[in-house]
Amino acid sequence: MVDRSTAHALDAADPLAPLRDRFALPPETIYLDGNSLGARPRSAAARLVVAVRDEWGTGLVRSWNDAGWYTEPARVAARIAPLLGADPDEVVVADSTSVNLFKLLVAGARLRPGRTVILTSTRDFPTDVYLARAAAELLGCELRGVDGPDAVPAALDRDVAVVALCHVDFRTGALADAHGLTAAAHAVGALTLWDLSHSTGALDVDLHGWAADLAVGCGYKFLNGGPGAPAYAFAARVHQEELRSPLPGWFSHADPFAFDPDFTPVPGITRLACGTPPVLSLLGLAEGVASLDGVTPAALAAKAHGLTGLFVELVDRHCPEVEVASPRVAEARGAQVALRHPRAYPLVRALAARGVVGDFRTPDLARFGFAPAYTRYADVADAVGVLRAVLDHDDLDRLEPAQHHAVR
Ligand SMILES: *Cc1c(COP(=O)(O)O)cnc(C)c1O
């Protein structure tokens, strides 16, 4: 049995413990997948009912003004900014992470005319690599792919326009040295583009402290915006005036309702918007971000390190046959831990059947996210107890690959 007394003591001393009440979580579930889809803020259901029934149903088109739909993206962006260590006028909420990556890869490379290389890690999340390749093709640049962020410094030279990297390795949770790599990129005159999808809302993101140039990230993971919530993009103020989006839709125009046939970009970060925002999803994101109000990135990171640290310690002690595939030093990993197991997919399914929800990453990782806003230390201890029970009692050979779900 996994002893819960240490976990209870940690929960009792946890300054973020009261945040859990802001979320609606099913009582029988230990949810360790907030890095894939964040939990629902309690306030989201009522807010969306008002939006659908009253603002859409009764207000109709007037709600763009009367209910504040038109100005909502800027309000949500201003709330995300402190979680990024950025200012409100450096953040825009729009589109998906993938689309924002494409816009900033192209716009960023065009800030360094004459340079011919986009540098990235081929271990990054595949959408990031696909889009870096597509941007390089469009620009007539070379895509220089290296094997992990540690290999970036040796690949830097004065041909590199943009270094595009994920802050957290989506498989192992290994954290890139954003501050050091940004400085290395700047030393050769290159710009950085950070993907913060697995960081914001859980880690100590500090774009100003890193001197970062450009960044993107996801609204539905640790920001709890709901499935498919819009994403955000960041551009440091110094770059904004020069920045030209390759997707200059009417919402990036200085005056969309002038219906001007000529394009004039709006001053500032809003030029990275493109078209009409998905208002219902945006309002879900507004509730998700509001659920982190008053919490600092440093406090979120401290708890994430505490939760992942306890998980690693208990897995080592109680499940020694499972390999911890994440960095062992808390400061070197994100808010997630991956366990390597030859039957990782059946393992994840068996855990879910017993109420512990994580996810599988091919070929052999069982991945667990520890959202600091709503995960308790007791959940960590209980999850390891269930893992021990699965390893002891469940037949992991009975689930065949044919039983894979489409979304894993
Ligand atoms: C989740 C995630 C995405 C998701 O992109 P979408 O456009 O929302 O599908 C992209 N990049 C990284 C690193 C992610 O973790």
Which H or E run contains 165?
strand 160-166
**Chain centroid to CA 79:** 16
pLDDT for 405 equals 79
Chain segment 109-145, per-residue pLDDT in tens:
999 999 999 999 999 999 999 999 999 999 999 999 9
Gap between the Cα atoms of 53 and 287, Å rounded: 17
CA 231 to ligand 1: nearest atom: 8
**Residue 198 near ligand 1, beta carbon < 6 Å:** yes
**Residue 35 near ligand 1, beta carbon < 6 Å:** no
**Residue 100 near ligand 1, beta carbon < 6 Å:** no
Q: How much is the average pLDDT of 159-184?
A: 98
Which of 252, 220, 219, 216 shows the shortest CA–CA distance to 235? 216
CA 168 to ligand 1: nearest atom: 13
Which of 8, 19, 364, 39 shows the shortest CA–CA distance to 229? 39
pLDDT of 403 above 70:
no
Please, are residues 295 and 288 in contact by the beta-carbon 8 Å criterion?
A: no
Which of 35, 1, 42 shows the shortest CA–CA distance to 20? 42
**Phi then psi dihedrals of residue 369, to 5 deg:** -100, 145
Which residue's alpha carbon is at the smallest distance from atom 2 of ligand 1? 197
Tokens of 392: 């002891």
pLDDT of 347 above 70:
yes
Please name the residue that has the structure tokens 């390089």.
Answer: 136
pLDDT of 399 above 90:
no
Please, are residues 97 and 231 in contact by the beta-carbon 8 Å criterion?
A: yes
pLDDT for 406 equals 82
* 221 catalytic per annotation: yes
Give me the catalytic one of 125, 170, 234, 345.
125
Please, are residues 335 and 372 in contact by the beta-carbon 8 Å criterion?
A: yes
**Chain centroid to CA 296:** 16
Q: How much is the average pLDDT of 264-289?
A: 98
pLDDT of 408 above 90:
no
Gap between the Cα atoms of 46 and 117, Å rounded: 48
Which residue's alpha carbon is at the smallest distance from atom 10 of ligand 1? 97
- Mean per-residue pLDDT of the chain: 97
**Residue 359 near ligand 1, beta carbon < 6 Å:** no
Gap between the Cα atoms of 62 and 235, Å rounded: 32
CA 125 to ligand 1: nearest atom: 13
**Residue 127 near ligand 1, beta carbon < 6 Å:** yes
Q: Is 5 exposed, middle or buried (0-12, 13-18, 19+ CB in 10 A)?
A: exposed
Give me the catalytic one of 170, 220, 234, 370.
220
Q: Is residue 377 very low, low, confident or very high in pLDDT (cuts 50, 70, 90)? A: very high
pLDDT for 3 equals 83
Please, are residues 371 and 35 in contact by the beta-carbon 8 Å criterion?
A: yes
pLDDT of 101 above 90:
yes
> How many C-beta atoms lie closer than 10 Å to residue 120's C-beta?
29
CA 124 to ligand 1: nearest atom: 13
pLDDT for 407 equals 81
Please give the residue that has the higher pLDDT: either 402 or 291.
Answer: 291
CA of 97 to the centre of ligand 1 (A): 5
Q: How much is the average pLDDT of 206-229?
A: 98
Q: Is 153 left (phi over 0), alpha (psi -120 to 50) or beta?
A: alpha
**Residue 98 near ligand 1, beta carbon < 6 Å:** yes
Please give the residue that has the higher pLDDT: either 362 or 408.
Answer: 362
CA of 170 to the centre of ligand 1 (A): 10
CA 100 to ligand 1: nearest atom: 7
**Residue 95 near ligand 1, beta carbon < 6 Å:** no
* 232 catalytic per annotation: no
Q: Is residue 346 very low, low, confident or very high in pLDDT (cuts 50, 70, 90)? A: very high
**Chain centroid to CA 100:** 13
pLDDT for 140 equals 98
**Residue 197 near ligand 1, beta carbon < 6 Å:** yes
Which of 204, 138, 153, 141 shows the shortest CA–CA distance to 175? 204
Please name the residue that has the structure tokens 């940004």.
Answer: 182
CA of 186 to the centre of ligand 1 (A): 26
**Residue 270 near ligand 1, beta carbon < 6 Å:** no
Q: Is residue 402 very low, low, confident or very high in pLDDT (cuts 50, 70, 90)? A: low
Give me the catalytic one of 40, 221, 271, 333.
221
* 220 catalytic per annotation: yes
